[in-house]
Amino acid sequence: MATPSRSLADDIRGRSDAELIDLVLARPDLARPAPADLTSLAARAGTRASVQRAVEALDRGHLQVLEAVVVAGDAAERGTLLHLLGTDDARTVDAIVQDLWRAALLWRGADGDHVVRTVPEVLGTAVAGLGAPMRELRPSSPPEHADPDRIRAAVAEAPDDARAMLERMTWGPAFGVLPTSTPGRTTARWLLEHHLLVPVSTDRVAMPREVGLVLREGRLHRSVELTPPDIEARPVALVDAAAGGAASECLTHLDELAAEWGAEPPRVLRAGGLSVRDLRVTQMTLDLDPEHTAFVVELAYAAGLVADDGEVVPVWAPTSEIDEWSSSEAGHRWATLAVAWLGSTRAPHLVGRRSTGTGPANALGPDVQWPAIRAIRREVLRELASLEPGHAADHTSLRRRLAWRRPNRSAAVLDEAVEAVLRESEWLGVTGRGALSEAGRALVAPLLPPPAPSARGGGSSTTGVATTSNGKRPARARADRAGGAADIPSTAQPPPEAGAVAETVAAAMSAHLPSPVDHILVQADLTAVAPGPLVGGLGSFMRLAADVESRGGATVYRFTPESVRRALDAGWTAADFTETVRRSSRTPVPQPLEYLVADVARKHGQTRIGGAAAYIRSDDAAVLDTMLASRDLTPLRLRRLAPTVLVSSADPRVLVDLLRDNGFAPVHEGQDGAVVHAETPRRRAGSRRRGPGPMVSPVDRPYTQSLVDGLRAAEATADQRRVEDETRPGPRIQAMDPVVTLSLLRDAVADRHGVWIGYSDGHGATSRHLIHPQKVEGGRVRATDESGHEKSFSVHRITGATLES
């Protein structure tokens, strides 16, 4: 129990090292930058920005208790809090109050608990939907207007219309607009005359807090929710198998994306991002729905596998890191993606939604950046990790629990984000069939606090657990503290290294990824079935030589004239093509496939194109006759030079593309007459990681222990200086805010009064001076010292000041 104090600063100075560590762990922003001493720590803990951050992190239970403390007033008895909350669970309320004190949202005086000064400012005037007190709405109002007995008597006498108006304002909002109709104005006038409403402007009224509490029968909230709601769970089977299959598909999608964008990288929009058209083309290539495609693209970007190449005409291209990633073991490849997804601040589900600009948000664009999604993502996974392994959460109860965890968030926005996280975790393989996989648990493990000791401040009373579909609690359900300040464990541990986490995650997923296969099953209908993910070389060949027809546990490829020609364009001969299929297939190569390859190969290269600007030659003069007669080829301006030679001013590559579009099968011929094979280009963007990032120590227990040790040493030094000051002549000079110092000096100039100041020299030593200020301007004080000499003092070096007695 903390020693009774007179202020927040005294309260913090009186805390033990363990309690100070708990405070900094509960509010890490207090440690950045490191405060100079405990007084600075207390001042920072009382600032509006820090208090607002702490209040926004509270769950509904802690927020309701904090609101009750604010409404009850300083040093309120515990019975008053219980009455306002409408509960008799004193143990839970005491535990939550202890948590609020631990987070320095309350400070403990000799007469009881006091709210930090900035907490009511952060909560606003409408605490829990109540209006401001009568004395604030109307300072001239006599005390009897706020008397509960008088209010009850007035409410009992109120006409039905007046009662109806009061009931609409009882649970908030406590402000209303005066009716324009005559009956409505008559009713409002009655309420104003009986002081149940107070005018705040010419057409607006407010219900005083005292009236609202009477109408609520003394209860602050419609329903008290001090503990988290349960999560309903159901058992599911084959979780890791489903997660492994999803992870394997995700890796395949990334490989296909890299191959597509490496060959034909899409342009970067002027405002950043990927155009809707290019996203649709990528969607058709990957054969996914728009939301899933946006997720794959954003995942590749988050993992550093694609980036803006930074050229004059920028494109989205695979980075140099993708080559090393592609050659890694599958488990490590997946771990890279999972860790990047967990730490990403981008929200793929926002792609296509109306943004703050003039149009929808584009994939890879700035409008998809949403830092809050990272915290939501981690909260969802932590809740799933609290369930028994092999159990999937009911989405409705999960959303309800997360809404309790963060009551200050918009319910609609939170629900949408939670559904998106659940959907993405299933696509990635972090979950399988709705339950957290073994690899998912390894990924989330560093985010979970160690179990809190049972003797810790009644924390067990704020426990919420999951229930299974039959209403029973799972054997290994994790006890959840009520959140907010209580989310901070009593024995924090330093987070493991990122590399160690990735290794653990990779090992957990590797055991469940489908094993790569080195064979296919070719069928007579020109399809080939891959019974699993193909090994690197065979997979590259099949992506080149066949088109994907369907995916799943097995991938079905189809050989077509276009796909065979694509392989021949890349340098494969018909014999090599057929031999590779025969060597890789567990079934005989069917004759239809051999005929297809032979037929495409026979036509392939009959027509050759070179630059003259460009020429076309063919041993078959009838083919050239057909070209000359084709109206679709008129833009090429073909002209015959010889029976077997045509020329054109078009680029050879344009000739090849346009002739193929019109049913011909030409190949590109080099200057030496050899066929130029169309190798797939491999565009690469520069790595996004230009160098090591800033080294920032985490606010963990070792760092916090070191910080508290430094604060204790600084406090001891300050105490010693105070003792030394007491032995010096003159009054004691306390450190004060520069704004207060300036105000005191200006008053001294106006009153011609002497001032004792503490002044720090260039070496950090502080000396005392009795001065008579004459002028304060430009950050300097012109004054005469004790000897009568005129001197100038810099205001920023004045550590404190007090008037001469």
Q: What is the pLDDT of residues 287-340, one digit of tens each?
A: 889 999 999 999 999 999 999 888 888 899 999 888 888 888 889 999 999 999
- Cβ-contact 783, 771 below 8 angstroms: yes
With CA atoms as reference, report the closest residue to 616 among 566, 579, 652, 571. 652
Of 30-39, 256-265, 516-525, least confident by mean pLDDT is 30-39
Q: Provide φ and ψ at 529, rounded to 5°.
A: -105, 125
Residue 701 belongs to a domain: no
Do 796 and 666 have their domain in common?
A: no
Q: Average the pLDDT over 482-500 and give the result.
A: 45
pLDDT recorded at residue 729: 60
- Cβ-contact 330, 513 below 8 angstroms: yes
- SS3 of residue 346 by DSSP: strand
Do 396 and 336 have their domain in common?
A: yes
Q: Write down the H helix ranges in 667-760.
A: 701-727, 738-751
| Residue after which a domain boundary falls, among 558, 580, 603 | 603
In terms of phi and psi (left: phi > 0; alpha: psi -120 to 50; beta: otherwise), the region of 303 is alpha
Pairing type for strands 607-610 and 614-617 reads antiparallel
- Cβ-contact 721, 747 below 8 angstroms: no
DSSP lists the bridge partners of residue 306 as: 318
pLDDT recorded at residue 356: 59
Q: Average the pLDDT over 756-771 and give the result.
A: 82
Do 412 and 530 have their domain in common?
A: no
Q: Average the pLDDT over 419-432 and give the result.
A: 94
Do 276 and 404 have their domain in common?
A: yes
Residue 760 belongs to a domain: yes
pLDDT recorded at residue 464: 44
Q: Over the chain, what is the mean pLDDT?
A: 82
Q: Average the pLDDT over 427-439 and give the result.
A: 92
Q: Sorting pLDDT into bands at 50, 70 and 90, what band is 281?
A: very high
Pairing type for strands 780-784 and 790-794 reads antiparallel
pLDDT recorded at residue 739: 66
Q: Choose the most confident range, by mean pLDDT, from 44-58, 420-434, 545-559.
A: 420-434
Residue 3 has pLDDT above 70, yes or no: no
| Number of domain units in the chain | 5
Of 264-268, 348-352, 651-655, least confident by mean pLDDT is 651-655
Do 237 and 359 have their domain in common?
A: yes
* CB-CB neighbours of 223 under 10 Å: 7
Do 445 and 547 have their domain in common?
A: no
pLDDT recorded at residue 724: 59
- SS3 of residue 206 by DSSP: strand
Do 569 and 661 have their domain in common?
A: no
Do 296 and 418 have their domain in common?
A: yes
Calculate the CA 369 to chain-centre distance. 9
Residue 496 has pLDDT above 60, yes or no: no
Of 475-479, 594-598, 608-612, 767-771, least confident by mean pLDDT is 475-479
Residue 476 belongs to a domain: no
Q: Which two tokens stand for residue 263?
A: 């060959």
Do 555 and 595 have their domain in common?
A: yes
- Cβ-contact 459, 486 below 8 angstroms: yes
Task: Give the CATH number for residue 754.
Answer: 2.30.30.100
Residue 477 belongs to a domain: no
pLDDT recorded at residue 776: 87
pLDDT recorded at residue 437: 93
| Residue after which a domain boundary falls, among 510, 538, 562 | 510
Of 3-7, 422-426, 508-512, 731-735, least confident by mean pLDDT is 3-7
CA–CA separation, 473 and 469 (whole Å) = 9
Q: Sorting pLDDT into bands at 50, 70 and 90, what band is 736?
A: confident
Cα end-to-end distance, the chain, whole Å: 39
Of 37-51, 169-183, 222-236, 556-570, least confident by mean pLDDT is 169-183
Residue 462 has pLDDT above 80, yes or no: no
Considering just the CA atoms, what is the radius of gyration of the chain in Å? 37
Report pLDDT digits (tens) over 553-607. 688 888 999 889 888 888 888 888 998 999 888 899 898 888 899 988 888 877 7
Residue 227 belongs to a domain: no
Q: Which element (helix H / strand E) includes 290?
A: helix 290-302
Residues 6+ apart with CB under 8 A from 793: 757, 759, 769, 771, 780, 781, 783
**Amino acid, res. 796:** H
Do 539 and 639 have their domain in common?
A: no
Domain that holds residue 645: 609-678
Residue 503 belongs to a domain: yes
| pLDDT cut 90: percent of the chain above it | 20
Q: Which two tokens stand for residue 237?
A: 């089977």
Residue 119 belongs to a domain: no
Q: Sorting pLDDT into bands at 50, 70 and 90, what band is 611?
A: low
- Crossing angle for the helix pair 38-45 and 17-26, nearest 10 degrees? 40
Residue 539 belongs to a domain: yes
Do 743 and 788 have their domain in common?
A: yes
Do 304 and 201 have their domain in common?
A: no
| Residue after which a domain boundary falls, among 188, 215, 242 | 215
Q: Which long-range contacts (CB under 8 A, 24 or more apart) does 780-788 make?
A: 781/745, 783/755
